[in-house]
Each structure stands twice: as C-alpha cells, then as structure tokens.
C-alpha cells in the first residue's frame, strides 16, 4: 500500500479521507475551519477568488459544500468533486445557470483539454490521492495563458514558523474540532474524523515540493505567497503560450 506522503496516498487512504469529510459534514466543517484559522479562512477564500475575472471559465477542484465557490462570479464555473454527499449544499444553493457540479476527481478531470481559463484548488489539494497526476490534468484542461491557484494551509520549510504551525495542527486543531461539534453528537466526537485530516496535513509537502511539480508539468511563472497571519499560502503557475516562431 502506498504511504501517505507529499505526492499522494493509496486508494484506501483516499477513501478514508473522503469518508472523514462526509462524516464531519458541512454543518461542522465550516465552524471548525473558522475556529482553527482564528476567523481568517473566508477572508483567505475571498483573496484567492479575486483572481477569477467575470469573463473567465473557471474550474474548481474539490469544492465540497461550496464555501469558496460562492465567491466566484465568473460566467461559467465547473466544480469537480468526488462526494455527492459533502457537496450537497453547493448543488442546492448555487446559480445553476453559471455553476455546474460534476462528479469526478482531480486526477481525471471530466473536461476537454484547453477549456478553462483559471483553475482553483482551495484547501483541497492535500486530499488528492496523486498530486502529480492532478497537476498534469489541470495543465491539460487549461487554455494557453491560463493559470492555476493552489491555496492550502501553510507548510513552510523547516524552521520556527513550520514548527509553530505543526504544533497548532497537532495539538490545537483537535481541540478546536471538538469545540465545533455539538456536545450532543457524541458519536462524532468518538469517531474523531479530524484525525484523518491532521494526518493529511502532516504528510503534506512544502511549497517547494509543489512548485517543482508545477514546473515539471510545464507551468511557468510559478510563485508562492503567504496570506494573512502566514497561516495559508497561494501557489500559482501559468500555462505558457506556444511559440509561433518558425
């Protein structure tokens, strides 16, 4: 069985991650996110969503309940998610004339090559079971000149900031998750689905790992920037235009 590491995870591990997200459910997912990020998570989402223009065709991988999707006002948005259960609120609340929810995975995007202008993976990239394949698929579906934006909880290189965030995830996040869950829901407390999500963070690579994967897939102008409080990052890349010179 493939171990969980910065490149991805086995099929069984991935199924466990999806099951954990469905177990948490949209009701507790956002409450826990707000607590764990000191209320910053939606501000970070809006900052990333500002990169999508009104005339763009947008791809979002792993939208879940649509907490990022709601901030995109582009003319067409394709949301690819493997879980019909976890993405149910998105399906019920979006403008269906603009936003399409498609069942699928980031490693095999059910869209034509060169069909989107911007691709977003917002706090879901670490859950891909094969990140190299996912980046390759994003490159395939983007038009020339199109851009990818990967927003994730910060995972800086070894040092004081990395240690501080690691301690937060290992010791503070489990407590915050319990605070978010209604005490009456003792079964969810006992199952502790957030333990699996902590595991995916611990296995997640540094920004250097994913910048390298983006460049290997053919992306140019690859950069990473920290969002407020240095609690999250945006890694971005651009699909180059093909040379027209003879």
* Stretch 172-193: mean pLDDT: 65
Structural domains counted in the chain: 1
Residue 29 falls inside a structural domain: yes
- As a whole number of angstroms, the distance between CA 193 and CA 130 comes to 22
Burial 55-93 (b: 16+ CB within 10 A, else e): ebbbbbbbbbbbbbbbbbebebbbbbbbeeebbbbbbee
Q: How far is CA 209 from CA 154, 169, 184, 191, 226, in A?
A: 13, 20, 42, 32, 16
pLDDT in tens, 6-49: 888 888 888 888 888 877 777 778 887 887 788 899 999 999 99
Q: Look at residue 246 in the predicted model and tell me its pLDDT.
A: 41
Q: Which residue has the higher pLDDT, 194 or 20?
A: 20
Locate 6 and state its tokens: 């910065």
Residue 6 falls inside a structural domain: no
DSSP, res 8 = B
Residue 228 falls inside a structural domain: yes
Residue 3 falls inside a structural domain: no
Domain range for 231 is 11-238
Q: Are 200 and 127 in contact (CB under 8 A)?
A: yes
Residue 4 falls inside a structural domain: no
Tell me the average pLDDT of the chain.
87
* Stretch 69-95: mean pLDDT: 93
* Stretch 110-133: mean pLDDT: 96
Q: Which of 67-76, 82-91, 127-136, 189-198 has the lowest mean pLDDT?
A: 189-198
Residue 5 falls inside a structural domain: no
User: Is the pLDDT at 81 greater than 60, yes or no?
Assistant: yes
- CATH of residue 53: 3.40.50.150
Q: Look at residue 138 in the predicted model and tell me its pLDDT.
A: 98
Residue 101 falls inside a structural domain: yes
Which single residue is written with the structure tokens 């507790």?
Answer: 28
User: Is the pLDDT at 125 greater than 80, yes or no?
Assistant: yes
């Amino acid at each position: 069985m493939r171990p969980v590491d910065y490149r991805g995870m086995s099929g069984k591990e991935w199924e466990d991650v999806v099951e954990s997200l469905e177990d948490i459910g949209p009701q507790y997912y956002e409450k826990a996110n707000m607590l764990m990020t000191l209320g910053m998570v939606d501000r970070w989402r809006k900052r990333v969503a500002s990169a999508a223009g009104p005339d763009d065709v947008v791809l979002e991988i792993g939208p879940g309940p649509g907490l990022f999707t709601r901030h995109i006002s582009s003319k067409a948005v394709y949301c690819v998610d493997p879980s019909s259960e976890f993405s149910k609120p998105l399906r019920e609340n979006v403008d269906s004339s603009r936003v399409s929810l498609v069942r699928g995975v980031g490693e095999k995007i059910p869209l034509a090559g060169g069909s989107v202008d911007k691709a977003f993976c917002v706090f879901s990239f670490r859950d891909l079971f094969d990140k190299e394949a996912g980046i390759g698929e994003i490159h395939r579906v983007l038009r020339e000149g199109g851009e990818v934006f990967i927003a994730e909880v910060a995972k800086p290189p070894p040092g004081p900031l990395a240690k501080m965030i690691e301690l937060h995830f290992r010791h503070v996040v489990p407590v915050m998750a319990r605070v978010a869950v209604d005490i009456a829901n003792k079964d969810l407390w006992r199952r502790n689905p957030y333990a699996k999500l902590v595991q995916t963070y611990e296995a997640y690579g540094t920004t250097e790992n994913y910048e390298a994967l983006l460049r290997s897939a053919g992306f140019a102008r690859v950069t990473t920037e920290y969002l407020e409080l240095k609690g999250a990052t945006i890694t971005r890349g651009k699909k180059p235009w093909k040379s027209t010179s003879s």
